[in-house]
Structure 1
Amino acid sequence: MPISERDETHLPKWTKWLDLSDRALAVLLLAPAALLLSLIIVYPVARLIYTSFFSLSLTSGLPAEFIGLENFALMIDDPVFWETLWNTVLITIITVPGALIVGMALALLANLPFATQWPVRLSLLIPWALPLSFAGLIFAWFFHSQYGVVNDVLVRLGFEGIIWFNSPNWAFAAICLTIIWKTSSFMALMILAGLQTIPRSLYEAADVDGAGRIRQFFEITLPLLKPSIVVALIFRTITALQTFDIPFMMTAGGPGTSTATLAMYIHQNTVSFLDLGYGSALAVVMFALSMAVTAVYLRIIRAKD
Structure 2
Amino acid sequence: MTNDIEKRPPLWMRWLDLNDKALAVLLLAPTAFLLALIIVYPVLKLGYTSFFNLSLTSGLPAEFVGLDNYRLMISDPVFWETTWNTVLITLITVPGALVVGLALALLANLPFRTQWPVRLSLLIPWALPLSFAGLIFAWFFHSEYGVVNDVLNRFGLPGVIWFNSPNWAFAAICLTIIWKTSSFMALIILAGLQTIPRSLYEAADVDGAGRIRQFWEITLPLLKPSIAVGLIFRTITSLQTFDIPYMMTGGGPGTSTQTLAMYIHQNTVSFLDLGYGSALAVVMFALSMCVTAVYLRVIRTKEQD
Q: TM-score, normalised by structure 1?
A: 0.96
Give the drift of 1:202.
0.3
1:25 CA drift (Å): 2.0
The aligned amino acid for 2:7 is: E
Question: Which residue pairs with 1:65 in the alignment?
Answer: 63
In structure 1, distance between residues paired with 2:102 and 2:10: 62
Q: What letter matches 1:300 in structure 2?
A: V
Query: Displacement of 1:228 after TM fit?
Result: 0.1
- CA distance in 1: counterparts of 2:98 and 2:284, whole angstroms: 23
Distance verdict in 2 for CA 1:64–1:221, change over 3 Å: same
Shift of residue 38 of structure 1? 0.4
1:282 counterpart SS class: helix
The one-letter amino acid of 1:82's match is W
> 1:155 is matched with which residue: 153, 156, 167?
153
Partner residue in 2 for 1:8? 7
Equivalents in 2 of 1:304, 1:39: separation in Å?
34
**Alignment match, 2:129:** 131
Q: Residue by residue, what CA displacement relative to the aligned partner does 1:53-72 show, whole Å, maximum 9, x if unpaired?
A: 11100000011111111101
What corresponds to 1:303 in structure 2?
A: 301
Q: Using the alignment, how far apart are the partners of 1:236 and 1:13 within structure 2?
A: 50
**Distance in 1 (alpha carbons) for counterparts of 2:49 and 2:21:** 37
Instruction: Please name the residue that 1:99 is paired with.
Output: 97
C-alpha displacement of 1:7:
6.0
* Pairwise CA distance, 1:274: 0.2
Q: Structure 1 residue 30: deviation in Å? A: 1.2
- For 1:16 and 1:222, the matched residues in 2 are separated by 51
Structure 2 equivalent of residue 226 of structure 1:
224
Query: How many pairs were matched up?
Result: 302
Q: Distance in 1 between matches of 2:10 and 2:126?
A: 57
1:1-57 CA distance string (max 9 Å, x none): 9x9x78624x44554344333322222111111100100110010000110011100
Q: Which amino acid aligns with 1:8?
A: K
Distance 1:166 1:42 in 2: 42
Provide the residue aligned with 2:110 in structure 1. 112
Residue type of the alignment partner of 1:133 = S
CA distance in 1, matches of 2:24, 2:232: 28
Q: Residues 161 and 303 of structure 1: is their aligned pair in 2 closer, same or farther, counting only changes over 3 Å?
A: same
Match of 1:272 in 2: 270
Q: Deviations over 1:223-255 (max 9, x none)?
A: 000000000000000000000000000000000
Q: Which residue of 1 aligns with 2:53?
A: 55
DSSP 3-state at the match of 1:161: coil
> What is the DSSP-based 3-state SS (H/G/I as helix, E as strand, rest coil) of the residue aligned with 2:237?
helix
Distance in 2 between the 1:19 and 1:136 partners? 55
| Structure 2 SS opposite 1:63 | coil
Cα RMSD (Å): 1.4
CA distance in 2, matches of 1:251, 1:44: 30
Q: Any gaps of 5 or more consecutive residues in structure 1?
A: none
Secondary structure of 1:226's match?
helix
Would the alpha carbon gap of residues 206 and 12 (structure 1) be closer, same or farther in structure 2, given more than 3 Å must change?
closer
- What percent of counterpart residues are identical? 84
Please list, as runs of the form range in 1=range in 2, the aligned pairs for 1:220-259 lying within 5 A after superposition. 220-259=218-257
Aligned in 2, Cα 1:203/1:12: closer, same or farther, shift over 3 Å?
Answer: closer
How far apart, CA to CA, are the structure 1 residues paired with 2:272 and 2:46? 15
Distance 2:157 2:232 in 1: 39
Report the counterpart of residue 287 of structure 2 in structure 1. Answer: 289
